[in-house]
Amino acid sequence: MRRILIVGAGQSGLQLGLGLVGRGYDVTLMSARTPEEIRNGRVMSTQMMFASSLANERELGIDFWADQAPTVHGLGVSVAGPDGGRAIDWLGRLDEPAQSVDQRVKMAGWLEEFERAGGHLVIHPVSLSDLDSLTVMFDLTVVAAGKGELVDLFDRDAARSCHTSTQRALSVVYVHGLGPRPEHPDVDAVRCNLIPGIGELFVMPSLTLSGRCDILFFEGIPGGPLDCFTEVRNDPGAHLARTLELMRRYVPWEYERARGVELTDHKGTLVGGYPPVVRQPVGRLPSGRFALGMADVVVANDPITGQGSNNASKCAAVYLDAITAAGDGPLDEAFMRNAFESYWAEAETVTAWTNAMLAPPPPHVLEVLGAAGEHPEVADRFANGFDRTADFRNWLLDPDRTRSYLAEVTTSHAA
């Protein structure tokens, strides 16, 4: 039986570990925290997952909260106008629903399931020297912990990374009591509010420790008026108050339904930011042995496109199939690089799209946002691109293809 070591207990590491245990592998997973410590800790992300990522969990039988989490059927976009109103406002319908489950709920539950299923769980932080001494006991070592000194094993890939600094200051608040959106009160949807030159506010339904909730997620251009949460990072009440004041000032249509919200819990806030980066997938340890990086260890995009957990799920699915297909063959450096390139075939478009969204929208993207308000099929195609990201190559990421597509839509409606 092949022995696999996974360091890191997030979406990618746990999904891969559970998948490998289910296929008969001897898997050891190292986590810095116990399930209870995770449940009692701070929120970690926004984690809206779209249909193909949710399908990966269903296939492994680990979609334990599918009947409890809000079912998201739409994705809407609003663009703030200079008069305080909305210059653009529309809702795209998802072909298949999305869901978000607080990672405190999911990762704690998955850790417990991993042990029940026969995996070996070790609760201990892992240093570089720890990892180097451990790898000799395993056929493959996978690093799925996106923070700490282990990330330094994986060199920045300058050819695939276009940023060297943080592109957004991030602020997350989990709340109860958010009212429905008047335009579609019966449809749970992710709402993307774009504030030109300032940043974005994303509003999304989720499931947390205390049940149904909503997430208020600001992305602020560094140095701008939304880059103001560092000083309140340890004061949840002040964090929420500042969030609401910024909503009142910049997105009053969202503020109106948020007047009565309350924090879900005193650990329901998060402040951060990091430079988007793509790293080399193979890390060489002091002993000369190798480790394979996965998910945000090697591809860390800004969360503006909501792809972090989706990338993690897809990376875990690719690696699971690659390890299985290898059979008794070598799980060496060549295997690691090939496994990553299979994942990069998907992640490359996500990275290009995310980097494009961080920049001021070019004219052809503005044309798309405007057309989506007039033609529901454009809105729907944009919304479903959050799941089927490869489709953006066919129309959104190339100005000529964009205009050709929009011309087809206009002609079809005229006919």
Mean pLDDT of the chain: 96
* pLDDT of 146 higher than 80: no
Query: What integer pLDDT is reported at residue 147 of this predicted model?
Result: 78
Query: What integer pLDDT is reported at residue 168 of this predicted model?
Result: 98
Domain 3-63+101-163+276-357 of CATH type 3.50.50.60: yes
pLDDT band with cut points at 50, 70 and 90 for residue 148: confident
Q: What CATH number does domain 72-99+168-272 carry, 3.40.50.360, 3.30.9.40, 3.10.450.350, 3.40.1350.10?
A: 3.30.9.40
pLDDT band with cut points at 50, 70 and 90 for residue 372: very high
Question: Domain extents for the chain?
Answer: 3-63+101-163+276-357, 72-99+168-272, 361-414
Rounded to an integer, the average pLDDT of 131-152 is 92
Query: What integer pLDDT is reported at residue 53 of this predicted model?
Result: 98
- Asked whether 354 and 305 are in contact (CB, 8 A), the reply is yes
Instruction: Classify 151 as helix, strand or coil.
Output: helix
Query: What integer pLDDT is reported at residue 327 of this predicted model?
Result: 96
**Which H or E run includes 95?**
strand 86-100
Stated pTM of the model: 0.96
* pLDDT of 181 higher than 80: yes
Query: What integer pLDDT is reported at residue 415 of this predicted model?
Result: 73
For the chain, give the longest Cα–Cα distance.
69
Q: What is the pLDDT of residues 48-87, one digit of tens each?
A: 999 999 999 999 999 999 999 999 999 999 999 999 899 9
Classify residue 101 by its DSSP letter. Answer: B
pLDDT band with cut points at 50, 70 and 90 for residue 211: very high
Query: What integer pLDDT is reported at residue 78 of this predicted model?
Result: 97
Closest CA to 233 of 274, 273, 270: 270
Residues contacting residue 381 through CB under 8 Å, at least 6 positions apart: 92, 391, 395
- Asked whether 14 and 294 are in contact (CB, 8 A), the reply is no
Q: What is the pLDDT of residues 305-344, one digit of tens each?
A: 999 999 999 999 999 999 999 999 999 999 999 999 999 9
